[in-house]
Amino acid sequence: MLTEVLVALLVGGLLYFLVQRSRTQVLRTEDGWWGAGAPPDGGEDITIRPFTVSTSAEELEDLYRRIDQTRPVPSLEDSHFTYGFNSQCLHTVLSYWRNGFDWRRQVDRLNQYPHFKTTIEGIDIHYLHVKPKTVPEGSTALPLIMVHGWPGSFYEFYGLIPLLTEPSDPSHLVFEVVCPSIPGYGFSEAPHKKGFDSVCAAHIFHKLMKRLGFQQFYAHGGDWGWLVTTNMAQLEPRSVRGLHVNFAPPSNPGLPITLSIMLGRRFPKLFGFTDLDIERLFPCMEKLVVESIKESGYMHIQATKPDTVGRGLNDSPAGLAAYILEKFSTWTSRDFRDLEDGGLTRKFSLDDLLTNVMIYWTSGCIVSSMRFYKENFGKGLYAPHSKIPVDVPTGFACFPNELMHTPKLWLKQKYRNLVAFTPMARGGHFAAMEEPQLMAEDIQNFTKIVEKKAL
């Protein structure tokens, strides 16, 4: 009798586990109000307004005056980028910014795509909306929202957008691209109240896509954009047709991940580890702990007291450039720390790097962008979304120099419908900006898989 009861309990428990695992869990949230003061009576304005990036002589004169008055501090001998942004390299960057960089020309480049603003939950949301010029007969453009991270901006996608909206290969899918600025970044208004985290951003971006007439769409993200688009897939899985990311650190490590860290070096095949996985993960203390400590100081500051350091950066173009561009050095390749110039122009042009910095400078958004860390980490490491799996078809582009390496086994703990996992030939954290061609190809391949499965 006892044996029969135990068997029944075991079978019942197994069936319960399988049913729960197969059931799509949905993240819950509510509408918010992030504008100043109380919500107005009668609802908010839902009109969509064209927006143009602009500048002025006064804006440039103020910038030049501040650059001219910077107080340089010499770097230590042979320190390169190991102490942070090298002072001699910063002098070179500032000299070009002051005397060679043409912001007016870059403003024209920014305006080559249509910009818009619309008010959602009390704040103005800025976004690009790029429609293809031509769509092959018998097909339709696929809507795609692409979300940036920190310290990037919508500008990261400027090299990628034409490859998706105007592909040269007639067999490729054609996309209609929406690139919003996360609230508090770039030209999106910053929240006026505490608590605006990735789930709030995801909720607002769902409203944006619906306002634009898209009931279903694809989503792509890296850095914070990974979490925002992941939350979008968790909030409304039926709306997100497919999710493509290039950054996905484990948010809630369980037994499989723990065992793979403990035993993966000795038994790599047991966990499906590749040579790259072994190289990037082991020895664990050095690769996962020490390296993370070396590169996460900014995160501790921004997750606790962002306004303090942010206030100084908002006043100093030299400080802002050093703080942002140091990430474009180290996060592109850790080896760049040992170079005098940080390898900045090995993957990017100074014009592109300074355009991104100018988006932060002219909008005055560095403080509000840093607050996004406090709002997300301030709620603890185990927010509700960290425990909810993603059942939307997912593709992952695994770039070899990504800041944090994520093996396929780790991804599958969160993304249960992983339909594509691509080891990329080269590239780091800012992959869309660094390797737009590779990123476009992977988005194409992933989307074709999803579209084929849907037939």
> Which amino acids are annotated catalytic?
223, 373, 429
- Sequence-ordered strand ranges (E) for 159-265: 175-180, 217-221, 240-245
Give which of 431, 8, 21, 434 is closest to 226, Cα–Cα: 431
Q: How far apart are CA 41 and CA 295, in angstroms?
A: 47
Q: How far apart are CA 333 and CA 348, in angstroms?
A: 12
Beta bridge partners of 144: 177, 218
What crossing angle do the helices spanning 57-68 and 87-99 adopt, rounded to 10°? 150
What crossing angle do the helices spanning 317-330 and 350-363 adopt, rounded to 10°? 130
Which distant-in-sequence residues (6+ apart) come within 8 Å of 439 by Cβ? Answer: 160, 246, 397, 427, 431, 432
Q: With the C-alpha atoms ordered 80, 83, 88, 93, is the resulting torsion angle positive or negative? A: positive
Based on DSSP, count helices (H) and strands (E) in the chain, helices before strands. Answer: 20, 9
Q: How far apart are CA 97 and CA 94, in angstroms?
A: 5
Q: How far apart are CA 207 and CA 411, in angstroms?
A: 28
Give which of 141, 221, 126, 115 is closest to 183, Cα–Cα: 126
**Block residue for tokens 């709002």:** 375
Q: How far apart are CA 223 and CA 442, in angstroms?
A: 17
Beta bridge partners of 420: 395
Q: How far apart are CA 164 and CA 72, in angstroms?
A: 43
CB 100 within 8 A of CB 32: no
CB 306 within 8 A of CB 66: no
What crossing angle do the helices spanning 57-68 and 317-330 adopt, rounded to 10°? 80
